[in-house]
Amino acid sequence: MERALEGFIDAWLMPLPLVIILLSLGCIALWRNTLFRNNTLFRNNSRGGLLLVSAAWLILVLVSCTAISDLLLLPLEERYPKWNGQGDNLTFVVVMGAGQQEALRLPDTNRPNTAAVYRLLEGIAVYRANPGSKLILSGGNGEAEPSAELMARVAQTLGIAAQDIVLQPLSHNTEQEVQLLAPMVGQQRFAVVTSAAHMPRTMQLFAAAGLRPTPAPTHFLDRFNPHPNWRDWSAPSADGLQRAQFALHEYLGIGWLWIKSLLSQAEAVVAEQPGQ
């Protein structure tokens, strides 16, 4: 049930799918009003259709504006500073999973998505700065081939010895990743590498598991506008929409963790009540 709900949110409540839903409903209402103009049942569809189309237009313009998408990203991406480039006697370097292409006609180096490439490169840099460490590649994502296995092959093409790579290929989301990674790292010193906007949620989950990894954020999406304000150039763009979608995905994830925490606390209170 939980995975189904997360999948629904990812599929339909992100900005672009939501805009498409609103536009579709608005167009249906407007066309019904046009085709059945003399039918009193559909007489008021025009106003509702205009409201839906206008709402879709407004959402699309706002979330694709550079200043707005950057303002959404900044609180996430500035939470943890970039890795300082120094070794820290780490035992493990954990690279969190990301997406990939299933097209087998592509070379392995072309199949990981942008986030996965940045995460792997940063993970290898941290691993090389800590001689004797192991590189843990995480992620299953429900694909025919777990992303951890694909990333392992890419890492080996970049010169990482197979014996220094540890896989965690079973998880389908960040929460499952942390649950499976916790017993693997134990109380050893380790770093976690993931996208900068994804790092706050990742660190929150590790903290809940009683672990305090060294954060090594990468894949910074807000790369050209580190301190945006309303006077900045804010023309709508596909890049702005992508950044807003990534940020909103993380805020929804953090909100979901907060809701689950409240529900767990409520269940604990009920369980402590006498006679329960």
Q: What is the pLDDT of residue 158?
A: 94
Q: pLDDT averaged over the chain?
A: 83
Choice between 240 and 152, residue whose per-residue pLDDT is larger: 152
Choice between 248 and 192, residue whose per-residue pLDDT is larger: 192
Task: Name the residue among 172, 170, 253, 245 with its Cα closest to residue 205.
Answer: 253
Q: In the Cβ-directed half-sphere of 225, how many Cα atoms lie within 13 Å? A: 22
- Is residue 40 classed exposed, middle or buried when 0-12, 13-18 and 19+ CB atoms within 10 A define those classes? exposed
Start and end residues for every CATH 3.40.50.620 domain found in the chain: 84-218
* Range of lowest pLDDT (44-48, 54-58, 229-233): 229-233
Q: Domain 84-218 falls in which CATH fold?
A: Rossmann fold (3.40.50)
Q: What is the pLDDT of residue 38?
A: 56
Q: In degrees to the nearest 10, what's the CA dihedral of 157, 163, 164, 165?
A: 70
Is residue 123 scored above 60 in pLDDT?
Answer: yes
* Token pair in block for residue 66: 């550079």
Q: What is the pLDDT of residue 208?
A: 93
Is residue 126 scored above 90 in pLDDT?
Answer: yes
Is residue 270 scored above 90 in pLDDT?
Answer: no
Average pLDDT over residues 2-15: 55
pLDDT grade, residue 68 (50/70/90)?
A: confident
Can you give the pTM of this predicted structure? 0.81
Is residue 101 scored above 90 in pLDDT?
Answer: no
Give the best-scoring range by mean pLDDT among 74-78, 109-113, 206-210, 256-260: 206-210
User: Interhelix angle for 66-77 vs 238-272, to 10°?
Assistant: 40
* Token pair in block for residue 254: 């953090």
Task: Name the residue among 264, 94, 229 with its Cα closest to residue 174.
Answer: 94
Is residue 231 scored above 70 in pLDDT?
Answer: no
